[in-house]
């Protein structure tokens, strides 16, 4: 596959949002040093009907990244307030849909946002978008609060862990670019897939319970979710080939 070096800065300038991130933001540098595949560049140059929406997505993702790095490095309270204003209403919606009382939801939002403040330094923009990081914190708090379960997780430093393969096709695209693609792809999902996907993430329900509520066979729910995830994963991989969904 042909590789264009320095494609990143070209794309950024071409997209006209070089002003949205601080020069010091390390997350711009991809982990493996590879450039974006040329297919992506071509796709970017072609006129697209939702170009404006995608630019807005990208700008928003850059802004949230920047705010988080200001919280991490400068303990910037104004940046933190801006993060709160973005995420608190979304977290409330997320937690209420999971069946929490309003009071419990707001206590959980407090815990999530205070955790964001304390752990901002551990946030790595090369690994995930800010919204993904905060989603994971909120999901874990929700499990703790609603089910009092623990959530078994791997230990990245475990000597028994089988390490990642060196060539990750997932890594050839910048996290923020993937995130912007993802926003667009979610808007373009067929409504019946988008509906089930939201339920699967937001409502703390087993897929069988979703099937009962939507009066669909369990197999239909599973296959729609599988299709939705496969479609989104394919776009995130940033490649038109080689993805085994």
Coil, strand or helix at 229? helix
Round to whole Å and give the CA distance between 242 and 245: 9
Provide, rounded to whole angstroms, the least separation between the CB of residue 67 and other proteins. Answer: 13
| DSSP structure string for 154-187 | --TT-TTPPPPPS--GGGGS-HHHHHHHHHHHHH
Provide, rounded to whole angstroms, the least separation between the CB of residue 240 and other proteins. Answer: 17
| Residue closer to other proteins (CB basis): 13 or 161 | 161
| Residue closer to other proteins (CB basis): 40 or 113 | 113
Provide, rounded to whole angstroms, the least separation between the CB of residue 129 and other proteins. Answer: 5
The gap from C-alpha 62 to its chain's centroid, in whole angstroms, comes to 13
Q: Which tokens is 203 given?
A: 């409502």
Q: Which tokens is 224 given?
A: 């729609």
Provide, rounded to whole angstroms, the least separation between the CB of residue 175 and other proteins. Answer: 8
| Residue closer to other proteins (CB basis): 8 or 195 | 195
| Residue closer to other proteins (CB basis): 4 or 96 | 96
Cα–Cα nearest to 65, from 119, 20, 34? 20
| Residue closer to other proteins (CB basis): 15 or 143 | 143
Total count of residues recorded for the chain: 245
| Residue closer to other proteins (CB basis): 4 or 209 | 209
Angle at which helices 191-202 and 218-236 pack, to 10 degrees?
90
Q: Do the beta carbons of residue 141 and residue 106 sit within 8 Å?
A: no
Terminal-to-terminal C-alpha distance of the chain: 20
Provide, rounded to whole angstroms, the least separation between the CB of residue 5 and other proteins. Answer: 25
Provide, rounded to whole angstroms, the least separation between the CB of residue 6 and other proteins. Answer: 26
Provide, rounded to whole angstroms, the least separation between the CB of residue 245 and other proteins. Answer: 8
| Residue closer to other proteins (CB basis): 36 or 98 | 98
Q: Which tokens is 106 given?
A: 């707001």
Q: Do the beta carbons of residue 235 and residue 181 sit within 8 Å?
A: yes
What is the C-alpha R_g of the chain? 19
């Amino acid at each position: 596959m042909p590789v264009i070096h320095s494609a990143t800065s070209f794309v950024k300038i071409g997209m006209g949002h070089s002003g949205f991130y601080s020069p010091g933001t390390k997350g711009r540098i991809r982990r493996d040093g590879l450039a974006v595949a040329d297919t992506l560049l071509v796709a970017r140059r072609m006129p697209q009907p939702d170009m404006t929406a995608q630019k807005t997505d990208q700008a928003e993702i850059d802004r949230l990244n920047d705010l988080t790095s200001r919280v991490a490095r400068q303990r910037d309270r104004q940046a933190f307030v801006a993060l709160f204003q973005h995420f608190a209403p979304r977290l409330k919606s997320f937690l209420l849909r999971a069946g929490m009382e309003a009071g419990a939801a707001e206590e959980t939002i407090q815990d999530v946002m205070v955790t964001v403040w304390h752990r901002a330094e551990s946030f790595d923009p090369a690994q995930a978008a800010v919204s993904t990081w905060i989603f994971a914190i909120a999901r874990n708090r929700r499990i703790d609060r609603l089910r009092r379960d623990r959530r078994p997780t791997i230990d990245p430093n475990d000597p028994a862990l089988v390490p990642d393969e060196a060539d990750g096709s997932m890594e050839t695209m910048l996290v923020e670019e993937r995130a912007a693609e993802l926003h667009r792809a979610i808007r373009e999902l067929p409504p019946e897939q988008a509906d089930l996907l939201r339920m699967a993430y937001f409502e703390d329900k087993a897929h069988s319970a979703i099937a009962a509520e939507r009066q669909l066979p369990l197999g239909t729910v599973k296959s729609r979710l599988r299709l939705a995830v496969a479609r989104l994963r394919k776009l995130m991989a940033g490649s038109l080939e080689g993805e085994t969904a």
